[in-house]
Structure 1
Amino acid sequence: MFHVRLYLTALIVCILPSVALADGVSLTLPAAITEALRTQPQVFQSAHTAAAGRDLSQAAHAVLLPQVSLAAGSIWSDSPNGQPLFIAGNAPREVIGQIHVSVPIYAPQLHALAKAAKDQSVINRSQETVTLLRVAAQVVNAYYQLNLLQTQTTIWRSTLNVAQKLYLDTHKAYKAGAVSQLDLTQSAILRNKARAGLEQTAAETRAATRLLNLQLGRAADGKIILSNRPEFASLLPSPSHLDTQAKQRQPLVQVADRQIALARAQIQVQRGATLPTINASAAYGVDTATAPRTGDLGWQGALTLSMPIFGFGAHQDRIAAAQEQLAALRSARQALILQIDSQIAHDYGAAQAAEKTLNNARTTAHEAFSVYTMTRKGYFAGAFNALNLAQAEGSWVRARLRLASAQIAVQMTRAQLELDMGRYPTEKKETSHT
């Protein structure tokens, strides 16, 4: 399970927008994911692992084809009184020079090994997709964290500008004797709070920018301008649709399915070890105990049968162990499906709650702004003091910050649901929810 509980998808990187963005250009979430998938070392690592699996699968299937080899050599044996010292020795000297061709006629274990290698190759490819979406999940987190902090920085900068103007106006009124020292001090406190909030958020924004730059393979101190286009604002699909999509497209489920297929192949490998094998071979050349002469070249052919008879139950134990492994993988797949369904149920509820929170935050922000506007007018009209204005401004700033957090929460929960279903997050045109 990944951070922010984002699952992975069966899509491949090539279907994402192939747009390389330079520093300072507005960056969308899909473009950020694409850029990260092109630069992350773990993506290259998984790609090499998948390529190695393909090579091993091809090698396992090549063993089933005819094999051609060369045998050449000259062998001398110690032969006192004309008799070789080794039983295998043919003569004091033996000359071999042959081209060998061997073909497996019946080799069930080799076929099972080839099937197992193919399944392992498919697992490696699915795990490559898992890695791609793990990177995507990291980018989603970094992207929305920076998005939130940039929005908060904008809010605090706007608040500071307003507070600075308020302080200057109050200072002029104080000099003219229209307001008290308390009002001037309170306006200075408002300005200092806004400046402190801006400084803190700006520092967090710089850290979040460095993190996203690292995810994208850019220079850590590069500037990033995020897109302000709304994302994931369409209606929520039904939970049953989410469950179906996840079972069909989740690469974690695909990995589990291929692991089960590999376990079946491993059972056949162990069973193949108990079956006979038949091989045919042919050779052309010379194999003589005397110096080769013209006309010694010739053909040799052989058909061999090999079959295990008794092994003290070793083969049966290996077959039983492979069957238990298959049963364990089936149970693990069921547990994975349950975990995914549970996660979708949780994420679906979080997405619904985020939408309700966003609607409430919008209403609260609108009301807080109205109160602040009226209080500010009353302050300059002499109906309210600076403390009243500070309270109204504080409520308005908090409402704006909550609204920004609620907007990001909606986008993040939608992104999580997208990845739960096995899809990369994509931008969607905003539609009404009311």
Structure 2
Amino acid sequence: MVNSIINDSFSSYQKNIDSANIQCSLGIDITSKDKSKIFLKANTPITEKISSKIRELKQAGVIAAYAPDDAIKITNPTKKDELLTSIIGSVQADPVLTNFELTETLATITDYVNNETMPEKIVEHLTVFSQFNPKEFEHTLFNLVFGTHIGKAKNYSPSELHDLMCVLFYEDIGFARLDPAMKNAYKVHPIISKEIVEYAGITNPMILDAILQHEEKLDGTGYPNNITEINEYAQISQIANQYSLLFKTGGNTASTMGEIILLGQQFDFRTSCYKPSVYHSLLQKPLMKISIEKLESSQQLNQYAQHLHQELSNVIKWSNTKATSNEEVRLIQQKIKNTLWVSNDSSDPFQVSASELSDTQLCQDFISDAMRFIYSIVDAANYLNCQLHNPIEKNGSPLSGDSFLQMVNP
């Protein structure tokens, strides 16, 4: 059943089809009210003459009622191989995506596109979307690739990856039915996207909810409903959105990843209080995994672990030796030592010596713990530096939050 949102947006949909010079035909027979006479047969190419004929029949009141969307069909919808070509091309041309190890992710997406039975209306809307609004469609492809990469890093099952890819591929499909001149059109597209997907026959509530919520943020600053409880697939989409936006602003892959991970920080190291975040902190782990995915050999991992060990040892040294009368600074120093498990007879972070990092499993665990700690202390480092003017130091030089982001960069 076609709902009012689909009907109300048909006019814009048709204009977008015309603007993109997409050929269409009738999707149904145009008949008399009693179905006894066929005025125009399904699959008849829609020309200006045919459109004029339909308008005349409507004005005369002699044809059976029909949903506008049912009466129009894209003659040459985008084929699967064309979709895959677009996806591969977007990866090769994107300065962000080329920095990641995407071989397995692209294989997963290729299997999905080749084996998924996409509803006809979904394919038609993707066709219009990609040709009428190629800029937004490129953004969708970025989200599809990077979001799927996150899902794989989180060890999603095949069925979970399938549902995630449905969300990422269809979440912006509403732009096919939006007038670009409409004020705040982008704020409406999640609603229309969800309605299109449901109209096309997809009923999975997880997919539909995630599409509707993909522009929401846990801190309530998203849209269209400013909610604070959000489907995880939608949160992954939001991470991809934020990564793209931050990279365009900063232009550096490593620093952008650090900033993205910080957007999921839900714990304030300095105050030990909850802090609002864009997405749930559980999604920081796969992002950290992605950030070091190019460290493939045991030797590379060990070198990185040794680097982190040395940097954290410097932080511990500051915590132990920096004399200050400021009670707040002393409390932060003690928190650092407590968090890093610094004992009275050892200054090794997490009580792991540099020589012990030769053990592969211990090395991996140490890297994970060290990365979490460094990201957690970024805001505290800025506070010590800018507010208390009593920064964490390394060999006498102050360390800012950016210093810690650079520190964790492999």
For Structure 1 versus Structure 2, the TM-score category normalised by the shorter chain is under 0.3
Q: Which protein, 1 or 2, shows the higher relative CO under an 8 Å CA cutoff with sep ≥ 6?
A: 1
Larger radius of gyration: 1
Structure (1 or 2) with the greater strand fraction = 1
How does the TM-score come out when normalised to structure 2?
A: 0.25
